[in-house]
Amino acid sequence: MKLDNSVALVTGANRGIGKSFVHALLAAGAKKVYAAARSLDTLAGVGIDPRIVAVKLDVTREDDFRDLAATASDVTLLVNNAGVLDFGSVLEAQLQAFERNFATNFYGVLASSRTFAPIIEKNGGGAIVNMHTVLALASMPGFGVYNASKAAAWSLTQSLRAGLASRGVAVHAVFPGPVDTEMLKGVPVPKTSPDDVAKAVLQGVSRGDEDIFPDPMSASLYQAWRNDHKAVEKQFAAM
């Protein structure tokens, strides 16, 4: 998709990769970016630009989607970025942790895509970008709750892609490795900057890449997974 003159909506735009998406979209020529956050107050730090429109969206709230569909009726590119991460293994984590991760990482993406796919189609076509993780390909047990929600969202992306192909809406899956944001604060691994990830994702969208591995770690992990997915599963299981 051509990003020049696009009208984008970014969920979870107040910080982390979402905030980087807002600026990368403007740099790529978007004519308007709806920066969506659970609380409008948190969007103050995103910056001042006449092309940024602050909007309220908690992706777990149906009424927020209803209101936003009326306001943001010119969207051509949806970035489903909002996400939460609860650490914990599937054998020990509280069920509430599963509910919280699925509410945002799976049902949030579902509600957002169902709301905006018809709007994008009506506006002449465009794209949906869903932020997954390399852990959707193979699970690390300590991230079991989060991984399950992201793997389910990856399956959702494939179904959306098939369903929307003939309606002019491309659906992109993004599988980042570790990124330097609040989400992985305190986890001592090499991380990519959120600005670099956002830029690489938009380059992938411009090229029409369906599946995007936006950093060196995820790109090499993808090659290893293609060569021998069982070896990657065993490697992650031991971490």
Tell whether residue 182 is a contact of ligand NAP (CB under 6 A).
yes
Q: Which residues contact 221 (CB under 8 A, 6 or more apart)?
A: 134, 137, 177, 213, 232
Number of H helices, E strands in the chain: 8, 7
Chain residues 37-96 in contact with ligand NAP, contact rule CB under 6 A? 37-38, 42, 57-60, 81-84
> What x-and-dash track marks residues 102-141 binding ligand NAP by CB under 6 A?
--x---x----------------------x-x--------
Q: To 5 degrees, how large is the angle CA 84–CA 127–CA 29?
A: 95
Kindly calculate the radius of gyration of the chain based on its CA atoms and give it in whole angstroms.
17
Active-site residue identified among 34, 107, 146, 222: 146
Q: Contact region for ligand NAP (CB under 6 A) — 45-53, 70-78, 120-128, 174-182?
A: 174-182
Helix axes 62-71, 108-122, angle to 10 degrees: 20
Cβ atoms of residues 22 and 33 within 8 Å: yes
Nearer to ligand NAP, 124 or 186 (CB): 186
Nearer to ligand NAP, 24 or 59 (CB): 59
For ligand NAP, which residue of 88, 144, 178, 214 counts as binding (CB under 6 A)? 178
Residue 222 appears among annotated catalytic residues = no
- Estimate the share of the chain in helix, then strand, then coil, as percent rounded to the nearest 5: 50, 15, 35
Which amino acids are annotated catalytic? Answer: 146
Residues contributing to the site for ligand NAP (CB under 6 A): 11-12, 14-18, 37-38, 42, 57-60, 81-84, 104, 108, 131, 133, 176, 178-179, 181-184
